Structures are given as structure tokens and as C-alpha cells.
């Protein structure tokens, strides 16, 4: 290798090692955090979490063309073990039969609700109240996107805390009681997030998960491995070091007053969940108030992962575009004087190892191909580096499975665990590259400012009976 | 044959063995793989030493990663085996003890030391969910099987501290202790209150509150002063155990609590009949931090207050926040003084139908039949939903709507 090539090659290696070291460090932090958390959980000594001091919660369910899954999803939410619960489903101008299904299934009647105008949102046509469930409201509004739908829900809700759940998701019965605990213990808590798990391969009946399993669809298995990694060490560790930058849009609990102060969800962004959290951080820092965002590993929400390549591609493009938008819109956090771990650790990490990673990866492939073609690198040497990268990825996945075993013992069968390990190995041969392509496409869409609407995700609802 | 319990037991052990065998097989396979690598070690060393510096490090790192992967898999397998064994044990204990604790079975099997934690878990779950009429029977059964002796044994400090009971077991026993008001258990609770472990001390405190033990307020004050930074947690726990009755004990710490914890405490006070809380509620109303909290305080005054407390409520009838105007009207409705009706009347013309409705409800609560203002309001109301709800309220109060 010549001088310049050698230094570029070394640069790539340093990037891989830095990335690996950061992830390994996060792993260690996650292990320690989970150990403490599980110990605390055990010392609760069988006492119910539900202690009668829970603040009221409004669950906001934005729905756009969710006719196939909305009823079972709402039934599951209404069955949640939570003492003071209000459920607000927001029909965001669905083109399918979502509204009709809801009106007939829950016997809604028009209700002249007192709607706040604290956050701007598209026109609310009508608010309905269910005759069957007195705590269930339906907001019918003009289409404005997911963020706009949640904003409408916030304007209608009357609780100090609100929770966002995707309409196709199923919450574990004690999910809300668990996710609310940090708000009870730490007054400065502004948001909490729960674990999202893949429901493909599971069966659900009457809004409850009745059996858990590994999906049969290859794409869903890859995503299962990825979700385990993202939630069971990524978010636990970031939460511990006060650098959690994402509370998933599929299951998160927020303090309403802080969200209103921050201006609610931004309707013209794609990654509205991450963008909101970053904006909430900015608001709290500007107001010079203490704040805390926590992740609760055993507050679980089940959601359907895309099984077709087209939907998967759309989702990944949207996510990366969302990441790009969130980071650029909130760039003032980066190395800000009062930004703390967020601005000095998490933000640079996300830029380096999340936002830029597809580009670095692509450049790495091109550069390796160039070195191979110019015979400056042997296939054996290239394989050594690639095997190292694969092993690192497998290690992360295995550690996530281990954390999963500690958090939810026995939830995945031993056969399932082996399948997941095998797919963790396989993901470096195709899936990772595919992801890279979609992420780059997402970045290009962001640069070109192409319009991207929510609701691209087509749900099968096959797992819900 | 399957009906025979011993055969069932044998089959379950057999299944467990099968699991263990398959896991062992995988470990042996992995071990074989690792051995093969070790046999090739000299060649590998030659190969590595022939590589350039960077690649040498990469190969070394790969081996380290491979070792870590194997280690993780071994830990995963051990964790699974432990889980399976533990599950079997729990199932067995449940099968024996659940009917006994529920009173379905007349048998009184000996309570083995290895079963203590699971039986206590079962009991705490059962007792926490039991209806009040069932509670005395469950407590009696628990004493018959010797659960109070188990709690006493767990909580009594042993001479040798090296082998002291695990914290989680002591916490479990402290939780169960809240249903055993014997003198020796209460002594154990006071002892545990002095523990250096915050969780143990807090649990002992909540159990003392639940038992309404003599001087339990002292326990709360002690624990709040020892762990002031934990005031929200302590408040939540104690609130669940003792409700609004001990709100005054928490007074110096109220500023540290999250707003809705205070609000919820006030809600508990709202349901309480303890009028001694009123000065504290009124004081808090003078410096409330948000409308929700003020609303709860007004409701609490509505429930606990009398004629003298009306003066605290009346200024809120003209408050800028409509929600508070309504809470004030409702509070006056509950206090029940007829002379307040003219004060609420202006709210009947509020632009929000919901407030008009609540004001009407307050007047219904205050007034007698044939009250003209309400009748007028019903006649003038153009919004059909409001008229419907009004009729509904009136009919609920046995009011003539004709």
C-alpha cells in the first residue's frame, strides 16, 4: 500500500475500532444498569407496582389507514392495568374504513369537547365519546401527518402525562404502570420510553399477546435481531449516561406541559419522535430547568415489522431522513455549553456512528474494491478485516440476546435464540448492505427535500386474531 | 398412567433432562470446535506472525471477539438452565401451596426452607388482591401454616452477619409483615427501619404505616429525614399504605414532590374524612403551583370543608382559568350553602357549554326543587347536547324536567 492509501485504510480501521469500542462500552454500561434495575425489581418483593399515586395518563393513538388493526389495538389499550386512563384515538383523515370501523365498534357519539389551542394542528372535524367506554375519545381530523395527529390528541387530552402508541401496536398489560414509575420517583422526568419488540411470529388474541415466537419471514428475523440490539443495550446504556436521544414514537410517555412548551411535534419532519426529544432538551436547557429522560426495559410494546422489501425500504429511508432532519434542526445542542452528555457525547456519537455510517461503509466497500483491484490488498487480508467486523456485529447481537434472557427469562425458545444468532451472523451478507443503500437514499431524499408521507407502512395484521 | 402424580412429576423431570441434554450437546459441539482450533494453533501462530502489523492486531482482536461470543453463549445457556430449574421449582411449590393458602386444601404440609421465598411471594400476591371480606380468613390460614414464624425468622438478625439473608428476601418478608400485626413482627419492623439499606428501611416504614403501628408517624419522619432525596418515592409508597391520613407528616417535604404526587395526595385527602388536614390544604391553596393542583385542592375543600372554608373557595369563582372557576363552583356545591347560589349564577352564562353544565350541576347540588334559574337555563339552552346532559343531571337528581 502506498502512503496515501495506507493512511486512508488506517482511517477506516480507526473508524471501525472507535465505533466498536463505543458499542462495547455501551454494552458494559447496559449490563451494569440492567443488573441494578433487576435487583431493584426483585426487592420490590412481590408488591404491586400500582400504588394508587399514579398520575392520570392520556394514551394518544394516531391512526391513518389502520382499519385492519385499530380495533384490536384499542381493545388491548383499554385492557391496560392503569387506574386513571384516557384513550384518545386520532383518525388522521384515513382513506380506508378506519373511521367507520371505529364508529360502529365502539358506539361513538358526537361530543362537544373543550379543545385547547396550545399547539397548532390541522382542522379537527369532530370529537366523539364512546358509549361503551367512558374514557375513550375519537378525534376525527383532516389529514396532516402523524405528528399533526398527535398534536391534535395533545390538544384534546386533559392529563399531565400523555403516551403515544402506534395504532398497530399492542402494549403489555402492565406497560403503562412500569413506564410511569420514573415520573413518580424523579420529579424532573420529562419523558420515558419503553422497549419495542417485533410481533411477527407471535400470536395475539383480543388485544393480548398469547404466544411469542420467532417470525418465519427472513426480513422480520433480521429486524428482530436489530431491535433487540437497539433497545436492549443501546437505549438502556444511553439512558444511564443521560444521553438518550430517542423515545420511540411507538411507545413513549411524555410530560404534556414540557411538550407544549417545546411547541409540540413538528408536522413537517419525518423523525418526529427524535426531533421532539431533542427540542424538549433544548427547551429545558434554555429554561435552565433540570430534566431527565429514561428508558424502561421491561415496559414492552409489540409492533409489526415490515415483511416486504418495499415497505422495509420506505421505513428505513424515512428513519434516516428523520435522523438527518432531527440532527440538523437541533444542531445547537452539539457541544453547547449546557448540553451535558447529550451535546458532548450522544450527539457527536449519532453524527459519527449513525448518520455518517452508511456513507463511511459505502466508501469502505469502494476503497476495499479499489485496493483489491490494484492488488494493494490481498483477499485474505480483506477477509480478516471483514471477519473482525462480522464478529463484532455478532457479539453485539449475542450480548443483546443475553440481556433479553436476563430481562425476560425464557421469552424466546432456545431454538429461537439459535435462529437469531444465525441471522446475526447472516446479516453481514446482504441485509447490512441493503440497509446502507436505503439509508443513503433517505439522506438524498432529505437533501432534495422530497415529500414523504406517513402511512406508507402497510399492515398485514395477520398476527392479531 | 398420566393421572398418576408421580408419573407426571417423572415426565416433567424427563423433559427438563431432555432440555439439559440438548444444551449440553451444543456445549460439547462448541468445545469440539474450539479444540480443533487449538490443535491448529501452531499453524495459526505462524500465519499470524507472517501478517503485517495492522492485520496481526485484527486477527488477535477477532480471536478475542470469538472468545467473548463463546463466553456470552455459555452464560446464556447457564441462565436458561437456571430459569428452567427455577420454573420447575416454582410450579411445584405453587401446586402444593396455592390450595393451602387459599384454604381449598385441608392439608398442612411442612414449610421447607427452600420454599420460603416462593410461598411468601404467593401469599403477598394473594393477600394484595384479596377482597376485604376474605382477608381475615387468609390471614388466619397464613398463621396456621406458620408464615408469621417464617417472617420472624427472616427478619430476626442472626449472630453471624456474613450469611445474612439476601436483601430481596428480607424485603419480601417486610412486605408480607404488613398483614401480621403481632408484637414480635412489629419489633422486627422497627429494627429493619434502622437498616442502612434504603429499600429495606423504606419497606419497613410502609409496613408500619399499613399496620398503623403505635407511633408510625415517627417512622415516616425518621425515614424522610434520613433519605430526603427520596421524598417522592417515599411519598408514593406511604401514600399507598396510609393515604391522606398522614399527609401532615409529609408537609416539610411537599416542595420536593412532583406536582402530581402532591395532587394525588390531595386526592387521597379528598376521599379522607380527616378534617384536621384542612389547614394544610388551605395553606397549599394559597401557594399552588398549577391549575391541576389547585383544582384538586378545591375539590378537597369541597369534600372536607364547611361554612368557614367557603371564603377560601369563593375568590376562585372569578379566576381567569375557567377550569378553576368550575372546580370552585363544584366545591361550593358540595359544601352546600344555599346562599352561594347567586355567586354561581354568572357561570351559567359562560361561553363554554361544559362549564355551564358543571355550574348547573353545582346548583342542583345546592338547591332544592323548582329552582327557576335552572329551569330557565334549560329552556334557553340551544345546544341540544347541553340540554340533554342537563336533563340527564336533573333526572339523576330526581328533578322534574317537565
Other CB atoms within 10 Å distance of the CB of residue A142: 13
Whether residue B385 and residue A110 make contact (CB cut-off 8 A), yes or no, is: yes
The predicted pLDDT at position B1 comes to 33
Q: Would you state the pLDDT for residue A347? A: 94
CB contact under 8 A, B385 and A112: yes
**Residue A50 within a domain:** no
Residue with more model confidence, A270 or B80? B80
**Rounded distance between C-alpha atoms, residue B74 and residue B68, angstroms:** 10
B3: confidence class by pLDDT, cuts 50, 70, 90: very low
| Interface check A5 vs B, CB under 8 A | no
Domain count across chain A: 1
Strand spans (E) along B214-368: none
Q: In this predicted structure, what is the pLDDT of residue B18?
A: 72
> Which of A47-61, A209-223, B314-328 shows the lowest mean pLDDT across its residues?
A47-61
Q: Do A51 and B236 touch (CB under 8 A)?
A: yes
Tens of pLDDT, residue by residue over B169-223, are 888 898 889 888 888 889 989 988 888 888 888 888 888 888 888 877 778 878 8
- The per-residue pLDDT for range A341-400, each reduced to its tens digit, is 999 999 999 999 999 999 999 999 999 999 899 888 888 888 888 888 888 888 888 888
Residue-level pLDDT at B396: 57
A443 strand-pairing partners:
none
A55, B268: Cβ pair inside 8 Å? no
How high is the pLDDT of residue A438?
A: 94
Q: What is the pLDDT of residue B401?
A: 42
- Strands lying side by side in the sheet with A251-255: A108-110, A124-130, A136-141, A85-92, A57-63, A161-165, A251-255, A189-198, A292-303, A170-171
Round the average pLDDT of chain A to a whole number and report it.
Answer: 86
Which residues 107-136 of B have a C-beta within 8 angstroms of A? 120-121, 124-125, 128
| Model pLDDT, residue A23 | 87
Q: What pLDDT, on a 0 to 100 scale, did the predictor assign at position A52?
A: 57
Complex ipTM more than 0.85, yes or no: no
pLDDT in the model for residue B44: 62
Top residue of B25, B55, B179 to mutate, by most chain A CBs within 10 Å, is B55
pLDDT of residue B5: 41
Taking an 8 Å cut-off on Cβ atoms, the answer to whether A46 and B258 are in contact is: no
- The top-scoring range by mean pLDDT among B69-78, B164-173, B292-301 is B69-78
Question: Are A209 and A76 contacting, i.e. CB atoms less than 8 angstroms apart?
Answer: no
B residues 50..109 contacting A (CB < 8 A): 51-52, 54-55, 58-59, 61-62, 65-66, 68-69, 72-73, 75-76, 79-80, 83-84, 87
pLDDT tens-digit readout, B80-137: 898 889 889 989 999 999 999 888 888 888 888 888 888 988 888 888 777 777 888 8
pLDDT, one tens digit per residue, over A221-244 is: 999 998 888 887 888 999 999 999
pLDDT tier, B305 (very low <50, low <70, confident <90, very high otherwise):
confident
Q: Is the distance from CB of B310 to CB of B338 less than 8 angstroms? A: no
pLDDT one-digit tens code per residue, A321-347: 999 999 999 999 999 888 889 999 999
Residue A451 has pLDDT above 70, yes or no: no
Q: Tens digit of pLDDT for each residue in A8-45? A: 888 888 898 888 889 888 988 988 888 888 777 766 54
Residues 6+ apart with CB under 8 A from B390: B357, B360, B374, B377, B378, B381
Q: For chain B, state the CA radius of gyration.
A: 33
Res. B41 pLDDT band, cuts 50 70 90: low
| Closest chain B CA to residue A411 | B80
Task: Quote the pLDDT of residue B353.
Answer: 66
pLDDT-based confidence at residue A459 (cuts at 50, 70, 90): low
Looking only at Cα atoms, what is the longest distance across chain A?
Answer: 77
**Residues spanned by the domain of A385:** 168-465
Question: What are the angstrom distances between the C-alpha of B257 and each of A177, B91, B282, B300?
Answer: 19, 42, 18, 19
**pLDDT by residue (tens digit) across B227-284?**
877 776 677 666 666 555 555 666 666 666 666 666 666 666 665 666 777 887 888 7
Distance from C-alpha of A136 to C-alpha of B222, rounded to nearest angstrom: 44
How many domains does the structure of chain B reveal? 1
Each residue of A69-93: b (16+ CB within 10 Å) or e? bbbbbbbbbbebebeebbbbbbbbb
The minimum CA-CA distance between B367 and chain A, rounded to whole Å, is: 27
pLDDT at B330 over 60: yes
B212 within some domain: yes
Q: Is residue B213 part of a domain?
A: yes
Which residue range is the domain that position B213 belongs to?
167-244
Average pLDDT over residues A302-312: 89
Per-residue pLDDT, B354:
67
Whether B331 is in a domain gets the answer no
> What does the block give as the cell for A164?
403515544
* Residue B175: φ, ψ to 5°: -65, -45
Residue B351: pLDDT over 60: yes
Q: What percent of chain A has pLDDT over 90?
A: 32
In the block, cell 502506498 appears at: A2
| Per-residue pLDDT band at A149 (split at 50, 70, 90) | very high
Residue-wise pLDDT tens digits, A178-221: 898 888 777 789 999 999 888 888 887 777 788 888 898 999 99
Asked, for residue B363, whether it belongs to a domain, the answer is no
Overall average pLDDT of the A245-267 stretch: 89
Residue B250 located in a structural domain: no
pLDDT digits (tens, 9 = 90+) for B358-400: 777 777 777 655 566 666 767 777 766 566 666 666 665 554 4
Nearest to A261 by CA among A244, A286, A290, A292: A286
Amino acid at each position: 500500500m502506498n502512503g496515501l492509501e495506507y493512511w486512508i485504510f488506517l482511517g477506516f480501521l480507526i473508524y471501525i475500532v472507535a465505533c466498536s469500542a463505543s458499542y462495547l462500552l455501551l454494552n458494559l454500561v447496559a449490563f451494569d444498569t440492567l443488573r441494578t434495575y433487576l435487583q431493584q425489581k426483585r426487592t420490590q418483593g412481590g408488591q404491586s407496582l400500582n400504588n394508587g399515586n399514579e398520575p392520570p395518563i392520556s394514551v394518544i393513538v394516531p391512526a391513518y389507514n389502520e382499519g385492519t388493526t385499530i380495533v384490536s389495538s384499542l381493545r388491548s389499550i383499554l385492557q391496560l392495568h392503569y387506574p386513571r386512563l384516557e384513550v384518545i384515538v386520532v383518525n388522521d383523515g384515513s382513506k380506508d374504513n378506519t373511521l367507520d370501523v371505529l364508529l360502529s365498534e365502539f358506539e361513538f357519539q358526537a361530543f362537544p369537547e373543550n379543545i385547547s389551542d396550545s399547539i397548532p394542528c390541522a382542522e379537527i372535524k369532530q370529537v366523539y365519546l364512546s358509549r361503551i367506554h367512558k374514557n375513550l375519545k375519537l378525534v376525527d381530523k383532516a389529514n396532516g401527518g402523524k405528528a399533526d395527529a398527535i398534536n391534535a390528541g395533545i390538544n384534546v387530552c386533559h392529563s399531565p402525562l400523555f403516551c403515544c402508541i402506534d395504532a398497530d401496536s399492542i402494549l403489555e398489560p402492565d406497560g403503562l404502570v412500569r413506564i410511569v414509575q420514573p415520573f413518580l420517583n424523579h420529579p424532573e422526568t420529562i419523558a420515558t420510553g419503553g422497549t419495542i419488540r417485533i410481533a411477527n411470529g407471535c400470536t395475539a388474541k383480543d388485544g393480548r399477546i398469547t404466544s411469542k415466537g420467532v417470525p418465519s419471514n427472513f426480513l422480520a428475523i433480521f429486524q428482530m435481531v436489530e431491535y433487540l440490539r437497539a433497545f436492549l443495550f443501546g437505549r438502556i446504556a444511553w439512558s444511564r449516561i443521560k444521553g438518550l436521544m430517542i423515545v420511540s414514537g411507538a411507545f413513549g410517555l411524555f410530560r404534556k406541559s414540557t411538550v407544549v412548551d417545546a411547541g409540540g411535534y413538528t408536522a413537517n419532519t419525518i423523525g418526529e419522535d427524535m426531533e421532539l426529544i431533542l427540542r424538549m432538551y433544548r427547551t429545558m436547557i434554555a429554561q435552565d430547568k433540570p430534566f431527565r429522560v429514561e428508558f424502561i426495559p421491561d415496559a414492552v410494546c409489540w409492533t409489526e415489522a415490515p415483511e416486504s422489501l418495499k415497505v422495509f425500504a420506505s421505513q428505513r429511508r424515512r428513519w434516516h431522513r428523520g435522523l438527518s432532519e432531527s440532527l440538523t434542526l437541533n444542531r445547537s445542542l452539539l457541544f453547547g455549553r449546557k448540553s451535558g452528555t447529550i451535546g458532548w457525547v450522544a450527539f457527536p456519537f449519532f453524527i459519527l456512528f449513525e448518520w455518517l455510517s452508511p456513507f463511511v461503509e459505502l466508501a469502505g466497500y469502494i476503497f476495499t474494491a479499489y485496493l483489491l483491484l490494484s492488488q494493494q490488498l490481498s483477499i485474505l487480508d480483506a477477509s480478516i478485516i471483514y471477519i473482525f467486523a462480522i464478529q463484532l456485529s455478532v457479539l453485539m447481537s449475542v450480548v443483546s440476546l443475553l440481556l433479553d434472557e436476563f430481562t425476560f427469562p425464557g421469552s424466546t425458545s432456545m431454538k429461537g435464540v439459535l435462529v437469531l444468532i444465525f441471522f446475526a451472523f447472516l446479516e453481514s451478507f446482504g441485509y447490512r448492505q441493503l440497509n446502507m443503500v436505503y439509508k443513503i437514499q433517505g439522506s438524498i431524499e432529505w437533501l432534495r427535500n422530497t415529500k414523504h408521507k406517513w402511512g406508507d407502512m402497510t399492515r398485514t395484521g395477520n398476527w392479531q386474531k | 398412567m398420566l393421572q398418576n402424580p408421580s408419573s407426571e412429576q417423572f415426565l416433567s423431570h424427563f423433559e427438563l433432562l431432555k432440555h439439559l441434554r440438548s444444551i449440553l450437546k451444543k456445549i460439547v459441539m462448541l468445545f469440539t470446535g474450539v479444540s480443533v482450533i487449538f490443535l491448529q494453533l501452531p499453524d495459526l501462530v505462524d500465519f499470524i506472525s507472517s501478517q503485517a502489523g495492522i492485520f496481526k492486531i485484527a486477527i488477535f482482536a477477532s480471536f478475542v471477539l470469538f472468545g467473548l461470543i463463546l463466553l456470552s453463549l455459555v452464560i446464556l445457556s447457564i441462565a436458561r438452565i437456571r430459569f428452567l430449574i427455577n420454573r420447575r421449582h416454582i410450579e411445584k411449590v405453587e401446586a402444593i401451596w396455592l390450595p393451602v393458602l387459599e384454604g381449598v386444601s385441608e392439608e398442612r404440609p411442612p414449610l421447607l426452607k427452600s420454599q420460603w421465598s416462593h410461598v411468601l411471594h404467593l401469599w403477598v400476591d394473594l393477600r394484595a388482591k384479596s377482597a376485604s371480606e376474605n382477608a381475615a380468613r387468609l390471614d388466619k390460614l397464613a398463621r396456621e401454616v406458620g408464615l408469621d414464624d417464617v417472617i420472624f425468622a427472616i427478619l430476626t438478625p442472626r449472630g453471624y452477619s456474613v450469611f445474612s439473608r439476601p436483601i430481596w428476601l428480607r424485603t419480601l418478608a417486610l412486605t408480607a409483615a404488613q398483614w401480621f400485626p403481632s408484637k414480635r413482627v412489629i419489633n422486627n419492623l422497627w429494627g429493619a427501619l434502622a437498616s442502612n439499606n434504603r429499600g429495606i428501611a423504606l419497606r419497613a416504614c410502609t409496613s408500619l404505616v399499613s399496620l398503623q403501628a403505635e407511633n408510625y408517624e415517627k417512622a415516616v419522619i425518621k425515614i424522610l429525614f434520613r433519605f430526603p432525596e427520596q421524598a417522592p418515592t417515599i411519598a408514593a409508597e406511604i401514600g399507598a399504605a396510609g393515604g391522606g391520613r398522614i399527609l401532615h407528616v409529609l408537609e416539610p417535604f411537599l416542595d420536593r414532590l412532583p406536582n402530581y404526587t402532591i395532587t394525588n395526595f390531595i386526592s387521597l385527602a379528598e376521599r379522607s374524612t380527616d378534617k384536621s388536614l384542612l389547614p394544610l390544604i388551605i395553606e397549599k391553596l394559597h401557594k399552588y403551583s398549577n391549575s391541576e393542583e389547585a383544582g384538586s385542592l378545591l375539590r378537597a375543600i369541597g369534600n372536607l370543608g364547611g361554612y368557614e372554608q367557603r371564603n377560601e373557595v369563593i375568590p376562585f369563582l372569578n379566576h381567569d382559568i375557567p377550569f378553576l372557576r368550575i372546580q370552585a363552583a363544584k366545591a361550593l356545591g358540595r359544601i352546600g350553602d344555599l346562599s352561594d347560589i347567586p355567586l354561581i349564577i354568572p357561570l351559567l352564562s359562560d361561553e363554554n357549554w361544559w362549564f355551564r353544565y358543571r355550574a348547573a350541576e353545582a346548583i342542583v347540588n345546592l338547591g332544592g326543587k323548582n329552582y327557576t334559574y335552572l329551569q330557565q337555563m334549560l329552556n334557553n339552552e340551544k345546544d341540544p347536547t347541553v340540554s340533554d346532559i342537563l336533563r340527564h343531571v336533573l333526572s339523576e337528581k330526581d328533578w322534574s324536567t317537565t
